[in-house]
Structure 1
Amino acid sequence: MRKHLRRVRDIGLRRLVIAVALLIAVMAASVAGYLASRNTTDQESFFGDDSNPDRVNVTVWITKVDPTTQQLSVTIVDVAPNGALADTDGNFTQDVTLTTAAIGNWKADIKAGDSAPDIEQKVSVDGAVTDYPFDRYTGRLEVHVFNAQGNNLPLALTVVNTDPFFGLTTTAATSQNGGLAVKLGLHRSAPTIVFAVFIMLLMLGLATGAVVAAFYILHWRRGLIFPGCSMMAAILFALIPLRNAVPGNPPIGSIIDFGSFFIAEAVISMSLISSIVLGFRHQRSIERAESALAEEIPSDDAATAAAERP
């Protein structure tokens, strides 16, 4: 008896150790995924001639990617002259003009002796938002700093991505008029893709659950089972806020819709309607059979009683 109890205790302890080890492994993998995905935020890329002592340092922050309007919000900060271009206070020794290939406010004049302001601009990008969550965008960032004579000054450009929903790839491009040009490649961050794909699989799984419930109701002619119908109705209307919960607010007609949402809605709707309509017919058959059985039972009792009379 003691050996049996000791064996049971050892088995339970072994299972507990395995469960704890699996939990630690899952948590470690999840944290590793976070550490890998955090590199998509605050990415820094460097371009230009940073070895030239007489240059202008420019930092461009990519703050938000708006796929709907096909625009990229950028902030130009830390426009700082170096070497012979800077005075004792670190400002420009002469008037300069900063221009970018942006939408709207693409030009900023900086006076000699004044510190450069932060400049908010919009840059156009190209891509298909309906490819969500696998949509990708391309753009071009071009920066020039002209002196008073209209000549390009040497630049050292730093591009920083701070949008947590997008990853960034940058490559140097050529500019016909001097300055610096950078090709931008934007894609959804790994956590965004993982979450969107999980939602797609979840919607298809819920649709499968509705099909199983409808099969249980209809195949064995269970009649109207209101808990099953209520479950399917709840899932049907819950899919709408679930679909809208994905990050990025993709428009209707995206891959997520044709790949899962529309399919799940159609399957659950057909399962619910067939369970109600055909279940009602089966319920009527069940009730008629019960009524006929109830009528036969009193007649049998009367015949039995008459046979027992003397």
Structure 2
Amino acid sequence: MGKRLGWSRGVGIRRLIVAVLVLVLVVSASLGGYRSSRDTTNRTSFFGDFDSPDHVEATLWITKVDAAADTFSLTITDVRPYGSLADDNGNFAEDATLVTNALGTWRTQITRGDSAPDADQRIALDGSITDYPFDRYKASIEMHVDRADGTELPVAVIVFSTDPFFSVTPSQGAAQSGGTMVNLAIHRTLPTMVFAIFIMVLMLGLATAAVIAAYFVQSGRRGLNFTACSMMGALLFALIPLRNAVPGSPPIGSVIDFASFFIAEAIISISLISTVLNGYRHEMAVERAAAVPAEEVSPEPAEASASPTDQRLPSLP
């Protein structure tokens, strides 16, 4: 008996150690994913003609990717001339014009002796948000700085991305007429994709739970089981806010809908309706059976009454 207890304790300790090690590995892998996502989001990239002593340098901040509007917001800051292009105060030594491929206001005038103003711009994206959460986009930033006579100045840019929901991978592009072009490959960050895929799997799992509950109630002829019906009704309406909780607010008709949301809603609806209808039929059958009266038992034949002759005869002493 003592050996058995000792063996059981040893097995329990080993299982506890294995469970702790698995937990540590899972947490470490999760933190590793966070670290990778953080490094991808806060990436700093350099493009353009940094080697030229006379160039204009600018910092580009990608602040928000608006996939629904097919644009992203770009803030141009810290535009500085270097070498002979700068005066003694570090400002522009001559008039210049900053030109980008932005929508709307794409020209910014720079006055001689002044620093360049910051500019908030929007640039078009190429992609489809209905591919959510696997949607990917392409875009480019083209920047020129021209003298008053139209001559191109060498341009160098520093690119930052601060949108926590998108990973931006920049690469050097070839501008057609001088300046600097940066090509961008944009996709959802790893945490966003993991969360969206988890929601998709969860919705399908809840639909499976509804099917199991419906089968349990109907196969056992349990009638109108209000507990199961309430659960399926709650699941039916809970999926809507659950679907809308995914980051990025994808429109109806995205991949997440056709892959999980529409399927789950249809399965739960069918399970609920079939459970109610079959339960109602069963309950009505039970009530009809209870309402049928028991067969009346026919009375036994009464004893033949005495004949009038017998009634007139006197009884014997």
The whole-number CA distance in structure 1 between the counterparts of 2:8 and 2:271 is 46
The corresponding residue for 1:232 is 232
Identity %: 55
Amino acid at match of 2:83: G
Q: Which residue of 2 is the match for residue 63 of structure 1?
A: 63
Residue 124 of structure 2 aligns with which residue?
Answer: 124
Q: Aligned to 2:137, what secondary structure does the other structure show?
A: strand
Q: 1:38-187, aligned counterparts within 5 Å?
A: 38-187=38-187
Aligned-pair CA distance for 1:97: 0.9
One-letter identity of the residue aligned with 1:76: I
Partner of 1:189: 189
Contact in 2 for aligned 1:40/1:166 (Cα 8 Å): no
SS at match of 2:144: strand
1:234-275 alpha-carbon deviations (Å, 9 max, x no partner) = 000000000000000000011111111011001100100010
- For 2:52 and 2:151, locate their aligned partners in 1 and report how far apart those are by CA, in whole Å: 16
Partner of 2:30: 30
Question: Structure 1 CA distance, aligned partners of 2:35 and 2:71?
Answer: 28
Instruction: Answer with 1 or 2: which has the greater Rg.
Output: 2
Regions of 4+ moved over 6 Å? none
Q: List runs of 5+ in structure 1 lacking aligned partners.
A: 301-310
Q: Distance in 1 between matches of 2:219 and 2:112?
A: 84
Identify, as 1 or 2, the structure richer in helix. Answer: 1
1:307 maps to: none
TM-score, with normalisation over the residues of structure 1?
0.91
Query: Is the Cα–Cα contact under 8 Å of residues 40 and 164 in structure 1 kept in the other structure?
Result: no
Distance 1:228 1:205 in 2: 16
- Is the partner of 1:164 in helix, strand or coil? coil
Question: What is the count of residue pairs matched by the alignment?
Answer: 298
Moved more, 248-257 or 275-284: 275-284
Q: Aligned with 2:243: secondary structure?
A: helix
Aligned partner of 1:42: which letter?
Answer: N
Q: Distance in 1 between matches of 2:290 and 2:213?
A: 25
TM-score, structure 2 normalization: 0.89
Structure 2 partner of 1:14: 14
| Residue number in structure 1 paired with 2:248 | 248
**Cα offsets for 1:277-309 (capped at 9, x unmatched):** 1111112233445667xx76xx99xxxxxxxxx
Give 1:147 deviation, angstroms.
1.7
Q: Cα deviations across residues 34-65 of structure 1 (Å, max 9, x unaligned)?
A: 11111221222221111111111111111111
Query: Is it true that 1:271 corresponds to 2:271 in the alignment?
Result: yes
